[in-house]
Amino acid sequence: MEMHDLCAIAAREPRCVLATAVKVEGHAYRKQGVSMLLTEEGTMYGSISPGCLESDLQARVDRVLDSQQLEFVEYDMRPEDDLSWGETIGCGGLIIVLLEPVWGELRSILSHMLTYFQSGSAVELTRSFYNQYTRIYYGVQLAENAESHTLSRLSLVTILSSESDVVTSEAEENYSQRVSLSEISRWDIPLQISTKYAPKPRLIIVGAGNDVIPVVRLGKSAGFRVVVADWRETLCTAERFPGVELVCGFPREVVPVLDIQSRDYIVLMSHQFPREREILELLEHRNYAYLGIMGSRTRTALLLNDLPPLKHLHSPVGLTIGADGPEEIAISIAAELIACKRAAAAAEHRNVQRGIVHATDGHRAGSG
């Protein structure tokens, strides 16, 4: 689950705790900086492990909420002489988790992050610790332009001491414990931790037929913000596509509304030749991350006839897995979307452009 989702959930959950892996050493299920939300009612959103740490984290939620104090928790799976923990977690690393009650300044920070995400902006969240980790300073800013739109808040928190009671299972108590300030120093946690979060990329699907329904479902599960656009009002409905943004209208009406950006993924699935040709003509001078076209090579060649080369084109859409039927085709499309999203993130991290290594059938545009 993306931070984009967690910020939205935090806005509607009155009492919840944000758990973040602030230090990871060795082999671990998730990377440093990953977060999840735990509510007072026992609901968990997201994950930090394959499922073995979460129950212990949940046991701490009431105490963190009642005290309104943050807490560090250590999970050390490195000792080779203990098999039960290692078999349960499936890794052998060290994970330090920071638990923060979502209230006051942190709630405000998450709200501002959500606003940035919804506008398509990446953000950077900074935690600065002072006075032996007893004070925390939150800051959030647009990641692309650190000089503007900066919001910083100061919040006083107290680290819980190791003398307090701990609720853990017998198998966990050797590895997870509430810790003192001296132990925090032993972990060598930086006094300032900054993490960059990207907004969920938009998946714009042109078409609202029955074969679009499984693509929408998988697209949402894969971390996309899904938009369905169609000119047929009887198909483009909330009943058919719950929890999805809907845009009704013909291509020349919907394209300006969509305001397509460089991070957007577009899939043409309307099966309506004239409308898709019109969409392609409107995309000629726009930037986007991915363009997939449903249909045969022959049909796509006709669609592209006399058009200049289009960027990031994938047709036939989806990875070549021998898909048969709407559900399997949806899986192949979702797999290609994930591959492209991961490759784009890696390229951005390295600050270089790279092509994507996957299926080679059909029309494949370069990365430019």
Q: What is the CATH number of the domain that holds 241?
A: 3.40.50.720
Which two tokens mark 120? Answer: 């398509």
Q: Which of 197-201, 254-258, 324-328 has the lowest mean pLDDT?
A: 197-201
Q: For residue 304, what pLDDT band results from cuts at 50, 70 and 90?
A: very high
Based on the domain organization, do 267 and 359 belong to the same domain? Answer: yes
Measured in whole angstroms, the distance separating CA 125 from the mean position of its chain's CA atoms is: 15
Q: Do 296 and 332 reside in the same domain of the chain?
A: yes
Is the pLDDT confidence value at 100 over 90? yes
**pLDDT value of position 126:** 93
Reported as a single tens digit per residue, the pLDDT across 23-42 is: 888 666 667 889 999 999 99
Across all residues in the chain, what is the average pLDDT?
Answer: 82
Decide: 130 and 137 in contact? Cβ < 8 Å.
yes
CA distance 315 to 300: 7
153 with 252, same domain: the answer is: no
The last residue of a domain, from among 197, 230, 255? 197
Domain region containing 71: 3-197
Do 57 and 168 reside in the same domain of the chain? Answer: yes
- Same-domain check for residues 218 and 192: no
Q: Which two tokens stand for residue 189?
A: 């946690």
Same domain, 135 and 267: no
Same domain, 176 and 284: no
Residues 6+ apart with CB under 8 A from 78: 25, 26, 92, 93, 94
Tally of residues, the chain: 368
Structural domain ending residue among the three candidates 146, 169, 197: 197
Counting the structural domains of the chain, the total is 2
Q: What is the identity of the amino acid at 14? A: P
| Number of neighbouring beta carbons within 10 Å of residue 78 | 15
Output the 3-class SS for 117-151: HHCCCCEEEEEEEECCCCEEEEEEEECCCCCCCCE
Residue 202 and residue 222 in contact, taking contact as beta carbons nearer than 8 Å = no
Residue with tokens 């939300």: 37
pLDDT at 64 over 70: yes
Q: Mark whether 189 and 228 lie in a shared domain.
A: no
- What percent of the chain is predicted at pLDDT more than 70? 77
Name which of 210, 147, 157 is nearest 181 in CA terms. Answer: 157
Using the predicted structure, report yes or no on whether residue 366 has a pLDDT greater than 70. Answer: no
Same domain? 164 vs 231: no
Ordered DSSP codes for 64-91: HHHHT--EEEEEE---TT-HHHHHHHS-
Structure tokens that stand for 266 in this block: 């577009």
Residues 340 and 287 placed together within one structural domain of the fold: yes
Same domain, residue pair 158 and 285: no
Q: What residues have CB less than 8 Å from 255, skipping those under 6 apart?
A: 279, 282, 283
Task: Give the three-state DSSP class for 38.
Answer: strand
For residue 311, give the DSSP letter.
Answer: T
- Contact (CB, 8 A) for 216 and 244: yes
Give the C-alpha separation, 54 to 302, whole Å: 53
The domain boundary, picked from 197, 230, 248, lies at 197
| pLDDT value of position 44 | 96
Contacts of residue 90, Cβ cutoff 8 Å, sequence gap at least 6: 29, 50
What is the three-class DSSP state of 281?
A: helix
Q: What angle do CA 86, 88, 90 make, to 5 degrees?
A: 60
Q: Identify the CA nearest to 209 among candidates 188, 231, 191, 190.
A: 231
Collect all residues with Cβ–Cβ distance below 8 Å to 274 and sequence separation of at least 6. Answer: none
45 has a pLDDT exceeding 80: yes
Is the pLDDT assigned to residue 357 strictly greater than 90? no
Q: Both 218 and 135 in a single domain?
A: no
Half-sphere exposure of 43 (CA within 13 A, CB side): 11
Give the helix/strand (H/E) hosting 339: helix 326-350
Check residue 103 and give its pLDDT: 92
Q: Report the pLDDT averaged over residues 204-222.
A: 97
- The token pair that represents 83 in the structure block: 């098999």
Question: HSE on the CB side for 306, CA within 13 Å?
Answer: 3
